[in-house]
Every structure is written in C-alpha cells, then in structure tokens.
Amino acid sequence: MKSVTDSGQIKMGQRFFKKAFALFFFIIAIATFLALQPRSSFAAPGQHSATLGIGQVMLMGDYAKNFSDSIGLHAMYTYEASALLGLQVELAYSSHSNASGSNSLGIKGISPDVRFNLAQVDRLVVYAFTGFGLFMIDEKISTIQGSAITLAFNVGAAVNLALSNHFQFGTSLAFNN
C-alpha cells in the first residue's frame, strides 16, 4: 500500500518525465528545422579530416562496480559525403583499474558511424552521429582473467569550430552500449 507521500512523489516524477520528454522533442524539432535549411556547409563534400582526442571515459553498469573511470584516447577519420551527411570512423582506447590495482579493464574499439550535420553558424558545426562498433574488452578481476569482442551501439553529438581550413577544435559526448 502506498502512502500519500509516495503517490505525490510518483506524480511529481511523472510530471518531470513528461516535461523532459517534451523538451527532448522540442530540441529535436529545432535541430531538424536547422538541418533542413538551405546553406553552404563549411565541411565541403569530398573533404577528409583526421582527429586526435583525449577525454573522460565513464563506465556504467557492471563495469562501474569493479573499475574506476579514467582518461581515454581516440583517433578519428571523417569523410564529408555531402553538406548534411558524412562518415566518421573512430579508434578508441582506455585502461581502467580499481583503487587497489587488483582489477583491470582494457577497452579497444573501432566504430564506423554516420554523421549528420545538424546546424552551422559561421564556422561552428553542430552534428550528431550514430552507428555500430566492435570493442575488444580485456578484463581481470583478482586472479580471473578474460577477454571478449562485442558489438556496441553508438550515439552522440558534437560541436566543431573551424579555426582554419586545416585545424578544428571541438567537443563531443558519445554513448557506447
């Protein structure tokens, strides 16, 4: 049996979810509107680029129980097929351990993704990407060691600022499942 306080919290949670869901669709609608506007893209069709990156790798689920988050490295190749669509291939590496060092986790991956240029303001490009990737996981917990190759779903968004024709600066947020 639920108390009055519990049902009030449930209703409040449902209202928050509805508002968050509406905000999500509003953002998607604006991004779609901006993506469909005619414009000349700074990322010209046929353009190739390479990227080196460093960033925080936050583990979730079972991995978060046994390992700490750490800094990861990645290299990325991008090909702009058109003003709106492109291909990006990312190579990623990260190494994790626990506080005592008895557990270790190594993640190496390759992710070919489709890139969608959502909006462009001057030399600033906002884009999203999605695809599937292969990840090799090496895990050691105490004296038990194992490795596996797994297929992952990738989704993310990024912002790049072109400082010149050959140099860009940006940030991205990606989720690999």
Q: What is the chain's length?
A: 177
Distance between CA atoms of 129 and 31, rounded to whole angstroms? 13
Of 150, 43, 38, whose CA–CA distance to 87 is shortest? 43
Residue 112 has pLDDT above 70, yes or no: yes
Of 52, 43, 27, 53, whose CA–CA distance to 116 is shortest? 43
Segment among 14-18, 39-43, 95-99, 134-138 with least mean pLDDT: 39-43
Rounded to an integer, the average pLDDT of 21-47 is 62
User: What Cα–Cα distance (Å) separates residue 78 from each residue in 63, 71, 102?
Assistant: 30, 23, 38
Q: Are strands 48-57 and 85-97 parallel, antiparallel or unpaired?
A: unpaired
pTM of the model: 0.71
Phi, psi of 64 (to 5 degrees): -65, -25
Rounded to an integer, the average pLDDT of 171-176 is 89
**Highest mean predicted confidence (pLDDT) among 120-124, 143-147, 166-170:** 143-147
Segment among 12-16, 65-69, 111-115 with least mean pLDDT: 12-16
pLDDT, residue 137, reads: 92
Helix (H) or strand (E) holding 30: helix 4-35
Rounded to an integer, the average pLDDT of 147-155 is 93
pLDDT, residue 143, reads: 85
pLDDT tier at 4, thresholds 50, 70, 90:
very low
pLDDT, residue 2, reads: 46
* Per-residue pLDDT reduced to its tens digit, 57-95: 888 888 888 888 899 999 999 898 888 899 999 999 999
pLDDT tier at 18, thresholds 50, 70, 90:
low
User: What Cα–Cα distance (Å) separates residue 21 from each residue in 24, 32, 70, 126, 155?
Assistant: 5, 17, 31, 21, 18
